[in-house]
Amino acid sequence: MRDMPQESWAALNEAQAKLTRLFAKRGYALMETPILEPTELFFRKGGGEMASQMYSFTDPGGNQVSLRPEYTSSIVRSLIERERMPKLPVRVQYAGPVFRYSDDSKAYRQFNQAGVELIGSGEPEADSEVLGLACQGLASMGVGKVRLVLGDLSLFNALLESQKLSERARVFVLSQVGLLREGGKGLEAAMERARRFRLLGNGKTVLKELDPSTTSEYGLRSGLAALGPLPEGLSEAPSKALISSLLQREEPGALGQRQPDEISERLMRKLQGGEDPKRLEKALELSSKLAGIRGEPGKALKQARVLFSSNKLPMESVERLELVMSLVEKEELGGAEVTLDLGLARGIAYYTGIVFEIMDSKGEASLGGGGRYDGLARAMGGSRDLAALGFAYTLDRVLERAGV
């Protein structure tokens, strides 16, 4: 963290004011959120990766709280906590300090973000609006030539759904996208991880190997262990019925809030020992090919279309991305060079559609980025999903590149 002399403070405030005016012209209202929020709020967005970067502690009232590491979670929380949902879509902008720990001695642990969130629209026009605004903001600050690197996780989601994988397997494949983009060696490494995580099981996992630490689920471990390996000839339905029957003999309350059928479903997945190896292997292979597509948007989109059509994958996600790119071409991008990189892995567990980074002209440093996060509102306790997307700049780095 650092002190700011008057010159630096004045430059930062001038940049924030300039962006505030630009975003306001497009209908984005300024909002400030608390610097201190419940720790759980940020876990729901960033998960374990975010947890390792947060400044968290217990306040005098015994509450687990954290200095905000980003704005998006707080803005979505503010929206879903209102007594009355405002008319959608809602356009919000923000600017202020955020806090993240880093092992890099040269990295700022307190730095400044400025950005926007467009909540309540899933239309391609919303994607192009946010992408255009992200580029225009940098041009207004005199950053010079930048590179907009764009990916789209909806293509991976469509691919994985077509392979009928479990939720656990889909999450695993998405988490390996950064590795899969490396090609053959990356694919081999991802397959090895799948075996290590028992996603490629042999269907003979023994119950007594299950972790007994969760009492509500494994309170009957001693009785269930007598089953041993799942018999190859025993179909799934009778197995679930047997486990449910045993669980129903538990004392009331011993199973927590879950019903016997729910717990037996989960136990069956563990008993079966993993995914269909052929389906998971194919999903990893196709994901590796998709992650390797990068280059000029027109050529990259053609490659994606060929990959999907030749493997009889649903084309809707490709067609939507084609529409977004055609709309982006009509936006004022301030001279930004656009690259389509379908292996861009930016906070994959969080984003659901387009993801993007805005890099300096050499592609060495990220000046900001964002994407679409349609599932966050419900994950944070909202009554329904809200289509949403946004971006944030790291203002300190932007000002350095602008020579301020």
pLDDT at 360 over 70: yes
- Per-residue pLDDT, 402: 79
171 confidence band (pLDDT: 50, 70, 90): confident
Confidence of residue 291 (pLDDT cuts 50, 70, 90): very high
Reading the block at residue 316, the tokens are: 């809707």
Tell me the C-alpha to C-alpha distance, in Å, between residue 252 and each of 110, 120, 216, 243: 50, 43, 11, 17
pLDDT single digits (tens) 65-100: 999 999 999 999 999 999 888 899 999 999 999 999
Percent with pLDDT over 90 in the chain? 60
Q: Is 297 left (phi over 0), alpha (psi -120 to 50) or beta?
A: alpha
Q: What are phi and psi of 251, to 5 degrees?
A: -65, 145
Predicted pLDDT at 217 = 39
The pLDDT score that the predictor gives to residue 205 is 40
β-sheet bridge partners, residue 119:
90, 388
Task: Give residue 380's pLDDT band: very low, low, confident or very high (50, 70, 90).
Answer: confident
Confidence of residue 196 (pLDDT cuts 50, 70, 90): confident
Q: Is residue 381 predicted with pLDDT exceeding 50? A: yes
Q: Got the DSSP string for 236-249?
A: HHHHHHHHHHHHTT
d(CA 243, CA 62) in angstroms, rounded, equals 40
**Closest listed residue to residue 349, CA positions, set 40, 50, 71, 39:** 50
Are 130 and 326 in contact, with CB atoms under 8 Å apart?
no
What SS3 string covers 262-284? HHHHHHHHHHCCCCCHHHHHHHH
Higher-scoring residue by pLDDT: 285, 403: 285
User: Model confidence at 396, in pLDDT bands (50, 70, 90)?
Assistant: very high
Quick check: 353 pLDDT over 90?
Answer: yes
* pLDDT higher than 90, residue 130: yes
Q: Is the pLDDT assigned to residue 271 strictly greater than 70?
A: no
Is the pLDDT at 253 greater than 60, yes or no? Answer: no
Residue 77 · residue 380 · CB < 8 Å? yes
Which of 43, 37, 40, 45 shows the shortest CA–CA distance to 375? 45
Q: Is the peptide bond before 89 cis (omega within 30 degrees of 0)?
A: yes
Alpha helices in 61-183 (DSSP H): 72-80, 124-140, 153-162, 167-175, 177-180
Give the model confidence (pLDDT) of 31-68 as tens digits: 999 999 999 998 876 655 677 899 999 999 999 999 99
Alpha-carbon torsion 394, 334, 364, 46, what sign? Answer: positive
pLDDT band at 373 (very low <50, low <70, confident <90, very high): very high
The band of 19, judged by pLDDT with boundaries at 50, 70 and 90, is very high
pLDDT mean over 361-377: 90
Q: What is the chain's mean pLDDT, rounded?
A: 84
For residues 163-187, give the mean pLDDT: 90
pLDDT at 52: 84
- Estimate the crossing angle of helix 277-291 against helix 153-162, to 10 degrees: 160
The type of residue at 353 is G
Side-chain half-sphere of 404: how many Cα atoms within 13 Å?
20
Q: Which range in 173-177, 290-294, 330-334 is most confidently predicted, on average pLDDT?
A: 290-294
Where residue 293 falls among pLDDT bands split at 50, 70, 90?
very high
Q: What percent of the chain has pLDDT over 70?
A: 79
Domains and CATH numbers, the chain: 1-122 (3.30.930.10), 207-271 (no CATH)
Q: Is pLDDT of 241 > 90?
A: no
β-pairing, 64-67 vs 29-30, is unpaired
Looking at residues 247-258, what average pLDDT do you find? 51
- Residue 274 vs residue 94, higher pLDDT: 94
- The owner of tokens 């449910």 is 244
pLDDT confidence band for 247 (50 / 70 / 90): low
CA distances, 376 to each of 29, 56, 180, 379, 384 (Å): 21, 22, 26, 5, 10
Average the pLDDT over each of 19-23, 173-177, 322-326 and give the range with the smallest value.
Answer: 173-177
Contact 271, 202 (CB under 8 A): no
pTM: 0.80
d(CA 236, CA 115): 50
Average pLDDT over residues 374-378: 91
For residues 268-274, average pLDDT: 52
Asked if 272 and 161 touch (Cβ cutoff 8 Å), the reply is no
- Measure the CA–CA gap between 401 and 396, rounded to whole angstroms: 9
